[in-house]
């Protein structure tokens, strides 16, 4: 290794990300110190305390980061598949070897240290995806290739669910963002978004009725969006067939007016009108498909049918597919149930802790709610509470802005890659960070369901810190080598 190479590497590393990383890790360590500080005890770096352990994890992750930067960037390309396969084997082994930690079988014990392979699998999966999708001739239009790509994502999900780590498994869904960037139709993300909205609104307002006494509000509002979505899709995907959209719009307006008029005299469930309307739209789309042979009509029709079915099966899904505690969590989140000692307790206490921080916080180590253990999991999943309580609005906003800067920077770096491998991998990294930020902070703020995933660089734990370091620094190394490709 000659000195010229070293200095050029030094120059081509993106120092913005390195600095953001260092700031976040330092902020995170301070927060863990605050969260695990027990009034009256002072040992700072003792191996016994979480603070001391985390300090060691941080030093190790610096070492990992340094080594990753020193390796040849081609190595990541080369090792993508082997490491993915190796990781799958490790995940399978974990299912059988891991002991029970709070119901989860995802921790492997190595003497005093326990590791969670699922945290590292994100990285290997991202590498494998990037590798596969950047191979010459890959196209998302090819169903066979698409299936293989989906398998790369789904296998680790299945294995991690088998370890009873549903939260970590959901993280892999974030790769949809990367797929969207790589050309996946936006309609898929839109459908996913609609599914969540249908689900939430149907559950939340399913038992609320309009003044006519016969029409439940939730399904009505959702079914109403279906023709609108269909019209929007026709405008986007069949821009030359605006007349079809216009016909659907007119038919919808007419059906609604008719329904409302009849309902004025005889109260009945208006949703039947909307369902009938959906049926008419389906027939109309089928007719167009037969006439023009454009598969896009079929896809739009599928969306309409799927929406109607999903709106009506949300209740059933909620009651049968989700476990009791998950149902309660969702009901509490939607404000349908008050359960301050059970499922609502964590979120309520975390909101109290954050809310009591005020503008500038109570000051470092002065947080009472987190120190006195009112907030559960305060050093791990609920670490953001400590920031909120001790550093206030200013501190917690600063953390959010730092994450925003990091994610936007990763996106920017991904876009400047000259090779698809780097870009895809970069988007994978960004997607993982976006998902963790969205879910973890949302959960602490009482906006998303309680899903136990860590806040990157903040939550206590070596596995998650190393996992994120691995993700980020491999990307940095790939980015540093982009010129030579």
User: Which residues contribute to the site for other proteins (CB under 8 A)?
Assistant: 38-40, 139, 177, 180-183, 186, 349, 351-359, 366, 368-369, 371-374, 388-389, 392-393, 396-397, 400-401, 403-404, 407-408, 411, 414-415, 420, 423, 427, 430, 434, 437-438, 441-442, 445, 447
Q: Please, what is the minimum distance in Å from the beta carbon of residue 345 to other proteins?
A: 10
Whichever of 33 and 120 has its CB closer to other proteins, that residue is 33
List the structure tokens of 282.
């389906």
Q: Please, what is the minimum distance in Å from the beta carbon of residue 403 to other proteins?
A: 7
What are the percentages of helix, strand and coil residues in the chain, rounded to 5? 70, 0, 25
DSSP single-letter state for residue 209 = B
Q: Please, what is the minimum distance in Å from the beta carbon of residue 459 to other proteins?
A: 17
Whichever of 61 and 349 has its CB closer to other proteins, that residue is 349
As a dihedral over the C-alpha atoms of residue 76, residue 82, residue 88, residue 93, rounded to 10 degrees, the angle is -120
Whichever of 51 and 134 has its CB closer to other proteins, that residue is 134
**Rounded-to-integer distance, Cα 399 and Cα 127, Å:** 28
Q: Please, what is the minimum distance in Å from the beta carbon of residue 397 to other proteins?
A: 5
Whichever of 38 and 292 has its CB closer to other proteins, that residue is 38
**Rounded-to-integer distance, Cα 366 and Cα 384, Å:** 15
Q: Is 449 left (phi over 0), alpha (psi -120 to 50) or beta?
A: beta
Q: Please, what is the minimum distance in Å from the beta carbon of residue 38 to other proteins?
A: 7
**Rounded-to-integer distance, Cα 237 and Cα 188, Å:** 13
Q: Please, what is the minimum distance in Å from the beta carbon of residue 401 to other proteins?
A: 7
**Rounded-to-integer distance, Cα 142 and Cα 133, Å:** 12
Whichever of 164 and 423 has its CB closer to other proteins, that residue is 423
Whichever of 284 and 374 has its CB closer to other proteins, that residue is 374
DSSP string, 161-172: HHTT-HHHHHGG
**Rounded-to-integer distance, Cα 272 and Cα 252, Å:** 13
**Rounded-to-integer distance, Cα 371 and Cα 33, Å:** 10
Q: Please, what is the minimum distance in Å from the beta carbon of residue 24 to other proteins?
A: 14
Whichever of 317 and 400 has its CB closer to other proteins, that residue is 400
Exposure string over 214-234, b if 16+ CB within 10 A, otherwise e: ebbbbbbebbebbbebbbebb
């Amino acid at each position: 290794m000659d000195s010229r190479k070293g200095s050029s590497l030094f120059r081509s590393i993106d120092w913005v990300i390195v600095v953001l990383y260092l700031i976040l890790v330092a902020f995170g360590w301070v927060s863990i110190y605050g969260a695990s500080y027990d009034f009256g005890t002072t040992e700072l770096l003792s191996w016994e305390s979480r603070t001391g352990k985390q300090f060691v994890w941080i030093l190790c992750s610096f070492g990992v980061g340094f080594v990753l930067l020193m390796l040849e960037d081609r190595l990541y390309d080369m090792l993508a598949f082997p490491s993915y396969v190796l990781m799958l084997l490790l995940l399978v082994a974990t299912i059988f070897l891991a002991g029970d930690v709070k119901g989860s079988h995802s921790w492997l014990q190595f003497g005093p240290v326990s590791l969670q392979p699922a945290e590292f699998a994100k990285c290997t999966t991202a590498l494998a995806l990037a590798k596969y999708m950047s191979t010459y001739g890959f196209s998302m239009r090819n169903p066979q290739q698409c299936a293989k790509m989906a398998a790369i994502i789904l296998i680790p999900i299945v294995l991690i669910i088998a370890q009873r780590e549903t939260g970590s498994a959901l993280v892999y869904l974030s790769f949809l963002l990367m797929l969207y960037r790589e050309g996946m139709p936006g309609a898929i993300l839109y459908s996913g978004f609609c599914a969540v909205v249908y689900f939430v609104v149907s559950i939340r307002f399913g038992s609320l009725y309009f003044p006519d006494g016969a029409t439940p509000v939730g399904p009505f509002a959702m079914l109403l969006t279906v023709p609108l979505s269909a019209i929007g899709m026709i405008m986007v995907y069949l821009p030359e067939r605006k007349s079809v959209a216009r016909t659907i719009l007119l038919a919808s307006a007419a059906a609604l007016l008719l329904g409302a008029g009849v309902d004025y005299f005889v109260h009945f469930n208006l949703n039947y009108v909307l369902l009938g309307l959906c049926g008419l739209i389906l027939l109309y789309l089928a007719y167009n498909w037969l006439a023009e042979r454009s598969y896009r009509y079929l896809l739009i029709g599928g969306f309409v049918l799927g929406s109607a079915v999903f709106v009506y099966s949300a209740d059933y899904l909620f009651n049968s597919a989700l476990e009791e505690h998950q149902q309660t969590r969702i009901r509490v989140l939607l404000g349908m149930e008050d359960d301050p000692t059970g499922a609502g307790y964590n979120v309520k206490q975390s909101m109290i802790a954050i809310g009591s921080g005020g503008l500038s916080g109570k000051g470092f180590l002065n947080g009472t709610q987190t120190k006195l253990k009112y907030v559960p999991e305060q050093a791990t999943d609920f670490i953001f509470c400590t920031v909120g309580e001790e550093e206030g609005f200013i501190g917690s906003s600063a953390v959010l802005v730092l994450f925003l800067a990091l994610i936007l920077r990763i996106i920017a770096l991904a876009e400047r890659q000259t090779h698809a491998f780097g870009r895809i991998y970069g988007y994978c990294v960004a997607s993982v960070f976006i998902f963790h930020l969205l879910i973890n902070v949302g959960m602490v703020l009482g906006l998303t369901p309680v899903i136990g995933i860590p806040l990157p660089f903040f939550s206590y734990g070596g596995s998650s810190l190393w996992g994120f370091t691995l993700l980020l620094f491999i990307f940095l190394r790939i980015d540093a080598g982009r010129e030579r490709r």
